[in-house]
Structure 1
Amino acid sequence: MGIKGFVEGGIASIVAGSTTHPLDLIKVRMQLQGESPAPVAALRPALAFQSAAGTHTISIPTPPPPPRVGPISVGARIVQQEGVSALFSGVSATVLRQTLYSTTRMGLYDILKQKWSDPRSGNMPLPQKITAGLIAGAIGAAVGNPADVSMVRMQADGRLPVAQRRNYKSVVDAIQRMVRDEGVTSLWRGSSLTVNRAMLVTASQLASYDQFKEMILEKGVMKDGLGTHVTASFAAGFVAAVASNPVDVIKTRVMNMKVQPGETPPYSGALDCALKTVRAEGPMALYKGFIPTVSRQGPFTVVLFVTLEQELFGFHKHGSEAISNVIACLVLILALVCSK
């Protein structure tokens, strides 16, 4: 029971995360739109003009923010300016994140589901589903935060001027450089937000999938099969997107901020980031990137649960076939983690 949930859940998440990565990248770029640039240093006194009437200073008007664009325009701009391969920037971090985060949360949720389900019906009450999702999501996020920070930075790198880009070669290079340049604690920057988001996503995604599936089967709308799995998983993806998007916007901005030695960071924490974002851009800024979030979360959840429900990796079989499937997937995972 235990190892099966971890391995199947992890591999299914890696497949889902890799195939929907371009949508996730577009979402991150949209979430950073309109973010206030680093403050410009004040003019030195030498640039002040003295006159009989007193001292006059030059005031430089702040340029208006660039217009916000939609997901299709963002994707087209990425391809035009950075090439098609840029849509998969940070895919190695996505693979590592899913390996650490989703393997943990899916396995733990499966264990809790087995323990808390009614022995007669095999179903688990909704409050216990939500509780299981909150617990599994929190632990998974804490484990996977270093890969999450790396992923956000690698996805956002292309929007920076060339001189300011981090140019991480892979997720391994990103983690090594963060530890060397910013300290080990930088790997858990925004971890409170990651945990909160993961709790919301896991509770809403996994719990709502089980709930939607049970409702469909109980009402006889469809039989237990591919149609039921796709319908329930897409509905669960929409619920997860609505619940997690505000936290995801703040998480993206906190993880992506540059903190120079001796300088005040743009945000002192999650609450400060949320307040500055709402004051500068309005409350709906917390739903920036919602369309690509739904566009990604829907297919991601469909691929995830269809992969699990159809048992595409052969864990229901015996002997060498299941083992060979896992080994093949592990080789692919290793290759992607070591690449950009």
Structure 2
Amino acid sequence: MSRAVQDAAPPLPAGEKVTSLPAKKKQPYPFWLGGVAATIAASITHPLDLTKVRLQASGDKRMIASIQKTVRTAGFLGLFDGITGTWMRQMSYSVCRFWAYDESKKLIGADNKSPAWKLALAGSMAGGIAGLVGNPGEIVMVRLQGDFAKPPEKRFNYKHCFDALFRMVKEEGVSSLGRGVGPNVFRAILMNASQLASYDFFKAELLKTPYFDDNIYCHFTASFAAGTVATTVCSPADVLKSRIMNASGPGSNSTMAVIRQSFANEGPMFMFKGWVPAWSRLQPTTILIFLTFEQLKNLVDWKRGTQKTPEL
């Protein structure tokens, strides 16, 4: 305490000690903050996600050729086909996974500085919940994005995400909303265990070094590493999910049937089909998600008065 403050402070009664005020517990961030960040990021990278899904569904190999084909036949706006499906998916799946991740960490007594296995466990728990809740939105997104890659007679021709959802229930029954739920939940578990958990892990490790502070440079580096890990870990389940959800014939949506047919036609490396476009899409998406998420948290702190200005 400075001398000026000491002089200004009134004298304490004899025998009474100076006690510091208890630190105010920080309020939790809004549960939907991560979902908003993911929606913003997915909107920006939608053309890459669209190309990845079409490559996985069609078996084509050339990313640039697929993009050129889309632009040539549907114009530049064709790169944003199915954007409403992306929004529906993010506002169901991503809102749920960020919320469930925080709740799972509380449940198992973990925080952002916990060992990697604890963070991965919390991510896996969150992924299982979010994969189940977000499955209808996932199907809608995949179908809207993959429709153009099909022959005209096999297309769904949905107008937007709500049209897709209503027509699926009307034409295929409520059970169609659970199509591919197994691979989707499995992929969601892998994604959240690898993406959310590895971001927290890499960020904590970087902050232990003298080279990084809690700013945009640290967030970028941690999210770059998390995106590469997540792409590699999730590729097999991602390919299976896309192929099963795009199937429309009776019996064609069996996981084992898709695996057998894909192995026979393309060999075991089919599980990494579209890895480059998947990495090209997931990497910037992961970076954008966490950079946006961190800035949204700064904005909330600034609005609450716990931070003077939203800092990078």
Q: Same fold (TM over 0.5)?
A: yes
Q: 1:192 to 1:232 in 2, by over 3 A?
A: same
Deviation of 1:313 after TM superposition, in Å, equals 7.6
Query: Residue 194 of structure 2: which of 169, 179, 204 is its match?
Result: 204
Offset at residue 126 of structure 1 (A): 1.2
Structure 2 residue 179 is matched with structure 1 residue 189: yes
Structure 1 residue 127: Cα displacement: 1.2
Alignment partners' CA distance in 2, 1:116 and 1:310: 27
Correspondence 1:26-175 to 2 at 5 A: 26-34=51-59, 68-114=60-106, 116=108, 123-175=113-165
Counterpart in the other structure of 1:63: none
- Find the residue that maps to 1:220 and give its secondary structure: coil
Which structure's relative contact order is higher, taking Cα pairs within 8 Å and 6+ residues apart? 1
Q: Which residue of 2 aligns with 1:25?
A: 50
TM-aligned CA deviation for residue 6 of structure 1: 1.9
User: Secondary structure at 1:310's aligned position in 2?
Assistant: helix
Instruction: Note if contact 1:116-1:124 (Cα within 8 Å) is conserved in structure 2.
Output: no
- Residue aligning to 1:288: 273
Segments of 5+ residues of structure 1 without an aligned counterpart are 35-67, 320-340
Tell me by how many angstroms 1:309 deviates: 1.4
Task: Measure, in 1, the Cα distance between the counterparts of 2:64 and 2:109.
Answer: 43
Q: Which residue of 1 aligns with 2:251?
A: 265
- 2:19 is aligned to none
Where does structure 2 lack aligned partners over 5 or more consecutive residues? 1-25, 305-312
- 1:311 aligned onto 2:301: no
Structure 1 outlier segments of 4+, above 4 Å: 114-119
* Residues 296/225 of structure 1: CA separation in 2 closer, same or farther (3 Å cut): same
Give 1:101 shift: 0.5
Distance 1:135 1:94, change over 3 A: same
User: In 2 relative to 1, CA 131–233 (structure 1 residues): closer, same or farther, beyond 3 Å?
Assistant: same
- 1:17–1:94 contact (8 Å) kept in structure 2: yes
Q: Distance in 2 between matches of 1:159 and 1:134?
A: 32
The residue number in structure 2 matching 1:279 is: 264
Where 2:193 maps in the other structure, the secondary structure is helix
CA displacement at 1:152 relative to structure 2: 0.8
Q: Give the alignment's TM-score, normalised by structure 1.
A: 0.78
User: Residue 230 of structure 2 corresponds to which residue in structure 1?
Assistant: 240
Partners of 2:27 and 2:234 in 1: how far apart? 28
Over the aligned positions, Cα root-mean-square deviation in angstroms equals 1.9
Secondary structure in 1 aligned to 2:29? helix
CA distance in 1, matches of 2:209, 2:260: 45
Q: Distance in 2 between matches of 1:289 and 1:189?
A: 22
Q: 1:270 to 1:299 in 2, by over 3 A?
A: same
Does structure 2 retain, via aligned residues, the 8 Å contact 1:200–1:244? Answer: yes
Secondary structure of the structure 2 residue equivalent to 1:266: coil
TM-score between both structures, scaled by the size of structure 2:
0.84
For 2:102 and 2:267, the matched residues in 1 are separated by 39
Q: Which moved more, 1:188-197 or 1:310-319?
A: 310-319
Tell me how far apart the structure 2 counterparts of residues 237 and 304 of structure 1 sit (CA, whole Å): 10
**Within 2, Cα distance between the matches of 1:31 and 1:313?**
38
What is the count of residue pairs matched by the alignment?
Answer: 279
**Is 1:10 aligned to 2:35, yes or no?**
yes
Q: Distance in 1 between matches of 2:256 and 2:153?
A: 30
Distance, in Å, in 1 between the alignment partners of 2:208 and 2:189 is 28
